[in-house]
Structure 1
Amino acid sequence: MNSHITDTTAESGAGHVRPRVAVSSCLLGEPVRFNAGHSRDRFLADQLSRFVDWVPICPEMELGLGTPRETLRLERRPGGPHLITGKTGRDLTEAMTSLAAARAATLDVDGYVFKSRSPSCGTHGIPAYVGSAAADRRNRGVFAARIIDAHPLLPVEDEGRLNDEVIREAFIERIFAHARLRAFLSAGMSPRALVAFHARHKLQILAHDPASYRRLGRLVAQAGTLAGDRLAADYAEAFRAALAVRATVGRNVNVLQHCLGMVSDDLDRVRRADLVEAIHDYQRHLVPLSVPLALLRHHAHGAGATYLYGQTYLSPYPHELALRHHIPA
């Protein structure tokens, strides 16, 4: 039922490392839901599948509940919400918690897409009942909660939230960044390799969190003095924490202006004015981020600005996913 892809060198699109992403099996069309049906999601199954390697997981099936099966729900009980079968009233909380703990201990993925509104896999807004009334709707599913608690920096969403173009773009950017980090660490980290990896990601990190940008810079500066294992762990945690901070229009504008400075001397007056205008229009929420970025990629390539053209900020994931075309709110 569940498959694991372990090739960390596989590439997606134009040289992008393929993220390894856990996913609720039903979202890929597997008939594992309580009614023997599925919840196939078009974006995940038809579009994103071209660029990622899935690790399908269905905790209910792994518990041996089979399909079709009783529906489940959360009930408010002492100690927190309990996972209860709808007809027979069996309490599956302990079994599901143990399964989640075992899964979390061996989970080696770059992100996770859970099934929304599920009492086992939902990431938010799951009702807990007292009798027939929903006492509150602020809960996570029992399985998802344990996974998220064990991996707080793992990119996690449900398929419902991924319908929001801003949330979708942020999630995809993070899973590809995590995949590059995983491939880099698995290759064996040397001070020279760390400097090169960090240099490629500088502008992307800056767009997310300037404080983390400074912290990571200090870590890289110690590459020749800190023990390798400690440096790798510290850098990986700080890198993941930086990407977990949502990029803003203001921070993007700051980075775009940095990029402009790198190619400005190679542009004539008209081309420079076009780029300045595109950045200004993005700042005013008139055009999407893809507009100034397309100009920057073009000018960086034409000017032979190798450092800028190699920045992950310009191409954080395959262009075919077309995720930066929304106008900021």
Structure 2
Amino acid sequence: MSSERPNKPKIAISACLLGAEVRYNAGHKNSRLCSEVLRDYFDFVPVCPEVAIGLGIPREPIRLVGDAHQPRAIGTVDAQLDVTQPLADYGHRMANELADICGYIFMQKSPSCGLERVKLYHPRGHVQDGGTRGIYARAFCDRHPDLPVEEDGRLNDPVLRENFLTRVFAYSAWQELLRNGLSRRSLTDFHARYKYQLMAHNPVQYKALGKLLGDMGTTDARELGPRYFSALMTALKQCATRGTHSNVLQHLSGYFKQSISREDKQEIQHVIGQYRQGIVPLVVPLTLLKHHLRHHPDPYIAQQVYLQPHPENLSLRNAI
């Protein structure tokens, strides 16, 4: 029921978010969440693509100009400064070098690292609507479409933070499975452990993935595995809601219908109802269900990742 592992998962991160003074103005954007909280649970790999391609500290700022799908990274003072290709090349290089990471936290709004809504300018200087993605981030993410990625600012939202870290630990668990050897048995066992986690995030994909494995037939697990995992990560990217969480809690409570008293059943239903209405956070009904699980063990339920998809001390479910 614990997601803690002896080896901490690796997460790449924009170096400025860990306090490194690498920004264009020789400053940083230290994130207390990353540098003081998450650092205890992950091995961070700091990266600053602008410094890595040879831009100095301090340096002339760059901005994105032109087409949203193929912007150019141009100097804000010297229009002849064009670092588009070096940033893209470095993104491809790091995508190869950082093959063992389980997630990436990018600096928001950065012309190199921003994931979305980065300011995009017309050649004559006016800001375009919609924005775009940073050059380095685009090149890196194109090579790792299943990797959990997020911007630092969005991690201040407790739902998005819990979702991102759930995906990071799922990615780490899959890497561990691959290291131990992917087989038909290990694939079906992995899916069994993620059953209720999937149901909470995306009930439709939960059924589709179950059918995918059910129809596996003689298909080689090494062929099916990547398709399964890609679909899994897409499903987990959808944030669970109070409604879908409540549905999973109801399913879990059903395992105790023959083993607990009528009063205990009523208490469980009352607490799940309170959670659905937004009166209590998710940790409250989960704590009650875990209490009954300790007294009435069920091996199938005990293995469910949903009960503890990330280290308990992160307290992520206290805020959702």
Tell me the equivalent position of 2:295: 302
User: Structure 1 residues 250 and 85 mapped into 2: Cα distance closer, same or farther (>3 Å)?
Assistant: same
- Following TM superposition, by how much is the alpha carbon of 1:223 offset from its aligned partner in structure 2, in angstroms? 5.5
Report if aligned partners of 1:83, 1:91 keep a CA contact under 8 Å in 2: yes
Q: 2:81 matched to 1:88?
A: no
Task: Show CA shifts across 1:59-117 (max 9, x none).
Answer: 11110113121111112269742111223220111221222222234442221110011
Which structure 2 residue ranges, 5 or more long, are not aligned? Answer: none
Q: Output the CA distance in 2 between the equivalents of 1:247 and 1:16.
A: 28
Match of 2:307 among 310, 314, 323: 314
Q: Percent identity?
A: 40
Tell me the equivalent position of 2:94: 103
What's the TM-score once normalised by structure 2's chain length? 0.91
Report if aligned partners of 1:253, 1:279 keep a CA contact under 8 Å in 2: yes
Tell me the equivalent position of 2:10: 20
What's the TM-score once normalised by structure 1's chain length? 0.89
Q: Output the CA distance in 1 between the equivalents of 2:89 and 2:130.
A: 24
Larger mean Cα displacement after TM superposition, 142-151 or 83-92:
142-151
Report if aligned partners of 1:17, 1:176 keep a CA contact under 8 Å in 2: no
Q: 2:203 matched to 1:210?
A: yes
SS at match of 2:54: coil
Q: Output the CA distance in 2 between the equivalents of 1:127 and 1:85.
A: 14
User: Structure 1 residues 50 and 157 mapped into 2: Cα distance closer, same or farther (>3 Å)?
Assistant: same
User: Structure 1 residues 218 and 13 mapped into 2: Cα distance closer, same or farther (>3 Å)?
Assistant: closer
Q: Which amino acid aligns with 1:52?
A: F
Q: Output the CA distance in 1 between the equivalents of 2:96 and 2:257.
A: 49
For residues 1-329 of structure 1, the aligned pairs below 5 Å read 14-15=4-5, 18-76=8-66, 80-89=70-79, 90-108=81-99, 109-130=101-122, 131-221=124-214, 225-327=218-320
Q: Output the CA distance in 2 between the equivalents of 1:201 and 1:16.
A: 21
Q: Output the CA distance in 2 between the equivalents of 1:129 and 1:14.
A: 45
Q: Output the CA distance in 1 between the equivalents of 2:251 and 2:311.
A: 23
User: Structure 1 residues 76 and 176 mapped into 2: Cα distance closer, same or farther (>3 Å)?
Assistant: same
Q: Output the CA distance in 2 between the equivalents of 1:220 and 1:301.
A: 31
Q: Output the CA distance in 1 between the equivalents of 2:3 and 2:304.
A: 16
Q: Output the CA distance in 2 between the equivalents of 1:282 and 1:289.
A: 6
Q: Output the CA distance in 2 between the equivalents of 1:220 and 1:185.
A: 17
Task: Show CA shifts across 1:213-256 (max 9, x none).
Answer: 22322333355621132022222222212212221222211111
User: Structure 1 residues 38 and 211 mapped into 2: Cα distance closer, same or farther (>3 Å)?
Assistant: same
Q: Which of 1 and 2 has higher RCO (CA within 8 Å, sep 6+)? A: 2
- Following TM superposition, by how much is the alpha carbon of 1:149 offset from its aligned partner in structure 2, in angstroms? 3.1
SS at match of 2:257: helix
Report if aligned partners of 2:183, 2:222 keep a CA contact under 8 Å in 1: no
- Following TM superposition, by how much is the alpha carbon of 1:32 offset from its aligned partner in structure 2, in angstroms? 1.4
Q: Which amino acid aligns with 1:177?
A: A
Q: Output the CA distance in 2 between the equivalents of 1:21 and 1:129.
A: 31
Which structure 1 residue ranges, 5 or more long, are not aligned? Answer: 1-11
SS at match of 2:164: helix
SS at match of 1:135: coil
Report if aligned partners of 1:209, 1:245 keep a CA contact under 8 Å in 2: yes
User: Structure 1 residues 79 and 21 mapped into 2: Cα distance closer, same or farther (>3 Å)?
Assistant: closer
Report if aligned partners of 1:96, 1:143 keep a CA contact under 8 Å in 2: yes
Q: CA RMSD in A?
A: 2.1
Report if aligned partners of 1:191, 1:224 keep a CA contact under 8 Å in 2: no
Report if aligned partners of 2:117, 2:131 keep a CA contact under 8 Å in 1: yes
Q: Which amino acid aligns with 2:87?
A: M
Runs of 4+ displaced beyond 6 Å: none
Q: Output the CA distance in 1 between the equivalents of 2:69 and 2:298.
A: 59
